[in-house]
Structure 1
Amino acid sequence: MTQTINIMPLSNEGFTENTRFQVYTDRQFDKIEPLQKLSEEQRFEMRVVASVLPFRVNQYVIDELINWDDVPNDPIFQLTFPQRGMLEPSDYDLMAQALRDELPRAEITQLAREIQGRLNPHPAGQQEMNVPMLDGEALDGMQHKYRETVLFFPSQGQVCHSYCTFCFRWAQFVGNKELRFASNEADSLHRYLAQDSSITDLLITGGDPMVMKTRHVVSYLEPLLKPELEHLQTVRIGTKALTFWPQRFVTDDDAQELLDLFKKLVDAGKHVAIMAHFNHWREMETPIVREAIRRIRATGAVIRAQAPLVQHINDDPDVWVRMWRTQVRLGIIPYYMFVERDTGAKRYFEVPLVRAFEIYRQAIQQVSGLARTARGPSMSAGPGKVEIQSIIELNGEKVFVLRFIQGRNPDWVQQTFFAKYDEKATWYDDLVPAFGEEKFFFTDEYEAMCNTEGHLAGE
């Protein structure tokens, strides 16, 4: 049994409202009261998009985070509710006609699968290249792309309290088991970690692992304290719960047990990092999220904040300035500004790389050094995490200056390379080498990796 920690206030007085989790999916659009203010056509457009891309929202988000007087422009509304522009016009028209014709559910599902297949459901070689092996068998529900870090997808955490409309893991939530990562094999996880002393970090991800009951979290994380896993230094938990359900850390029945677990890990010498996803400063304004942040930090766990740069939500340097300043004030460490990945509703959310760099540069100039821990704009591409460092003119040519923050081959890390300036480029794959070069310095090696099934950098 873990020892109860003394986090004041011990009572939840003042945080008793909105403690019952009430969720809505596309089948309950008509039960979301504020949506009735929208036109019938707007609600139909939502149903069309939600027939292809996942939709899930809860009452806390509806009541506390969305300014319904500013819909559809409100950033949290854009973050959680489907918009027509998320689908290609031709795909939208196909699904809209299918719904108008009231086709059988099976035919609508089949059409949705066809459209989903055109949305690059698993970018950057996730299913082909990142799967670890143990005793000659592939470990489902795990990814090992970088030498030091293993990603684990617990089967009980393959959902979220609400879904982000831009989520690059949207394929986890559309009911197609072939597109999902999930594992409930705690023993295989621990054995895999134990056999490789170069693994220092475990990232529990999903979905959102904070939808799990604490007893499940304990079953995965407490065994990390065994002597054979002493080399595992950091436990990361990727979660959006601080935005979508901060009650998880305050008023849920097993919230205290979860906090006790964090403290037990910290006291045993592990670094516990809550990898929080905040897309807008508004997400950190409610009293209960402030209390959740305070309670997590009191355990010794560290909260780091990351988010993609996306149109309609935060494509404004002033939003990032206020967000980073708020995070520093609350004791959260700004970590990453990502570029929206090339999957799902990217067409609606993508920002040209030129604009992304300018937003980052203008925002970082306005904050103190404590907020300049935020790295970016960063693209989590096939070869690794590629950062846009600058846009300059060199040898008479305007170029992107790029750098590996992380790479499939650790030797690539911190190496700089150059790509031709392209004001329309929105992703790594749009870029070509500068100065007349035929390929980037790592291209041949990366292509060889792609042709080696199950390759892991460092093997």
Structure 2
Amino acid sequence: MALPVNPPQPPRTLRSVADLLAAGLITPAQAPALENVAQHYATAIPPAFADLIETPDDPIGRQVIPDAAECHTDPTEDPDPIGDDALSPVPGIVHRYADRALLKPLLVCPLYCRFCFRREHVGPGGGVLDEAALVRALDWLRTHTDIHEVVMTGGDPLMLSARRMRMIMQALEGMTHIHTIRIHSRVPVADPDRLDEAMAAALETTRSMWLVLHVNHARELTPAARAAIRRVQARAIPVLGQSVLLRGVNDTPEALEALLRAQVAARIRPYYLHQLDPAPGTARFHVPIREGQRLLASLRGRVTGIAWPTYVLDIPGGHGKVPIGPDYLRTGPDGMLHALAPDGTLHRLARERG
């Protein structure tokens, strides 16, 4: 009699040092130090993202495989680098700008990036706002009629069930002062099957709805990721792209150009290129601002303006985002303004004084 055969188990998210060892992404010699990292910061690498890793320190692996350096906190680093905590009037809400607010319905992500500015808060223990806390957060939005835009973030809002997402969308739909809703997510590239037809349908609203995709390298935009994004685009929801400038990931002209072109090819409008926020243990990803400005300037004239993101700094302490892109104006010895062309030549602006 034939013995029963156990069906093959589907791939699962890598969450522990043992998982990383079994996948060949770390060595046994690294394991003790990474167990220490695991005491502080969560790990999660879904199968779709793990499949993209060619070597542990390639641009994909570098973003998500823990490193012993994470246990070193530089004096310039801060557990709350952009001041979320001080600007949270009730749990789940951050109010930094007069006309908009963040709604954080959960602090769970499909993928835990090693450079995350909320790494002190997100993780499996972060959980979802319970019913009472969510009602309180929505009531805060309902009573603050000067808020016209809600940015859903977290954690990752697309980790919610389609049912809960639909309930939140219906609540926001009932607030006449809310004109725009943004959802910031890494799900389409990290775990694209999660953005299925049911979730895409849950995002439908009469409000101005935008999906903002966090993507840092061109290889993240796989066929499966593009299919997930199309499920949203098919519902007339535009998709923007935001990236973080990261050492060893997208800090060369070739890598950044490929990332921007891949987004446009997928009908994603590059929106922000973020300067890295100084969260604890992230120094290995830091690219100095001046280097970032030169890098972006090197692509001027090489890529279409449709692919040109705004390079932004979130001023530490919760003072807001400011553009820090390259400056193309110079004051000449004659006191007149000159424009710096992409080829490096200066051209006098006859009507403009410096």
Superposed pair shares fold, TM > 0.5? yes
CA distance in 1, matches of 2:50, 2:124: 24
CA distance in 2, matches of 1:72, 1:341: 23
- What residue ranges of structure 2 are gaps of 5+ in the alignment? 1-7, 334-354
Residue 72 (1) aligns with residue 56 (2): yes
Residue 220 (1) aligns with residue 156 (2): no
Following TM superposition, by how much is the alpha carbon of 1:31 offset from its aligned partner in structure 2, in angstroms? 6.0
Following TM superposition, by how much is the alpha carbon of 1:26 offset from its aligned partner in structure 2, in angstroms? 2.5
The residue matched to 2:114 in structure 1 has which SS? coil
Alignment of 1:427-442 (within 5 A): none
Return 186-195 or 72-81, whichever deviates more.
186-195
The residue matched to 1:170 in structure 2 has which SS? coil
1:272 pairs with 200, 209, 216, which one?
209
Alignment of 1:444-459 (within 5 A): none
Residue 166 (1) aligns with residue 115 (2): yes
Residue 313 of structure 2 corresponds to which residue in structure 1?
378
**What amino acid maps onto 2:99 in structure 1?**
E
TM-score, normalization by structure 1: 0.64
Residue 151 of structure 2 corresponds to which residue in structure 1?
203
Contact 1:58 1:161 in 2 (8 A): yes
**Cα 1:116–1:170 shift into 2, 3 Å:** farther
Alignment of 1:224-239 (within 5 A): 224-226=172-174, 229-239=175-185
**Cα 1:161–1:20 shift into 2, 3 Å:** farther
Alignment of 1:383-398 (within 5 A): 383-390=319-326
The residue matched to 1:56 in structure 2 has which SS? coil
Residue 261 (1) aligns with residue 202 (2): yes
CA distance in 2, matches of 1:172, 1:309: 22
Alignment of 1:103-142 (within 5 A): 120-128=78-86, 130-132=87-89, 139-142=90-93
**Cα 1:340–1:116 shift into 2, 3 Å:** closer
Residue 28 (1) aligns with residue 18 (2): yes
CA distance in 1, matches of 2:311, 2:76: 28
Following TM superposition, by how much is the alpha carbon of 1:218 offset from its aligned partner in structure 2, in angstroms? 1.4
TM-score, normalization by structure 2: 0.82
Residue 145 (1) aligns with residue 99 (2): no
The residue matched to 1:247 in structure 2 has which SS? helix
**What amino acid maps onto 2:63 in structure 1?**
L
Residue 192 of structure 1 corresponds to which residue in structure 2?
140
Residue 314 (1) aligns with residue 314 (2): no
Aligned length: 323
Following TM superposition, by how much is the alpha carbon of 1:173 offset from its aligned partner in structure 2, in angstroms? 3.0
Following TM superposition, by how much is the alpha carbon of 1:120 offset from its aligned partner in structure 2, in angstroms? 1.8
The residue matched to 2:236 in structure 1 has which SS? coil
Residue 86 (1) aligns with residue 35 (2): no
1:56-112 alpha-carbon deviations (Å, 9 max, x no partner)? 21222222x111xxx233111001101233333xxxxxxxxxxxxxxxxxxxxxxxx
CA distance in 2, matches of 1:118, 1:260: 43
**Cα 1:77–1:48 shift into 2, 3 Å:** same
**Cα 1:27–1:118 shift into 2, 3 Å:** farther
CA distance in 2, matches of 1:181, 1:214: 14
CA distance in 2, matches of 1:378, 1:118: 15
**Cα 1:365–1:215 shift into 2, 3 Å:** same
1:347-368 alpha-carbon deviations (Å, 9 max, x no partner)? 1111111101111211343211
**What amino acid maps onto 1:221 in structure 2?**
M
**Cα 1:395–1:380 shift into 2, 3 Å:** same
Q: Which has the higher helix share?
A: 1
The residue matched to 2:322 in structure 1 has which SS? strand
**What amino acid maps onto 2:146 in structure 1?**
S
Following TM superposition, by how much is the alpha carbon of 1:275 offset from its aligned partner in structure 2, in angstroms? 1.2
**What amino acid maps onto 2:48 in structure 1?**
Y
CA distance in 2, matches of 1:131, 1:21: 38
2:29 pairs with 35, 41, 46, which one?
41
Residue 345 of structure 2 corresponds to which residue in structure 1?
none
CA distance in 1, matches of 2:201, 2:325: 40
Residue 218 of structure 2 corresponds to which residue in structure 1?
281
1:393-445 alpha-carbon deviations (Å, 9 max, x no partner)? 7799xxxxxxxxxxxxxxxxxxxxxxxxxxxxxxxxxxxxxxxxxxxxxxxxx
Alignment of 1:293-308 (within 5 A): 293-308=229-244
Following TM superposition, by how much is the alpha carbon of 1:34 offset from its aligned partner in structure 2, in angstroms? 2.5
**Cα 1:366–1:217 shift into 2, 3 Å:** same
Following TM superposition, by how much is the alpha carbon of 1:380 offset from its aligned partner in structure 2, in angstroms? 4.3
The residue matched to 1:172 in structure 2 has which SS? coil
CA distance in 2, matches of 1:174, 1:208: 11
1:244 pairs with 173, 186, 190, which one?
190
CA distance in 2, matches of 1:273, 1:20: 32
**Cα 1:363–1:32 shift into 2, 3 Å:** farther
Share of identical aligned residues, percent?
Answer: 25
Residue 11 of structure 1 corresponds to which residue in structure 2?
none
Residue 399 of structure 1 corresponds to which residue in structure 2?
none
- What residue ranges of structure 1 are gaps of 5+ in the alignment? 1-17, 89-114, 133-138, 250-254, 397-459
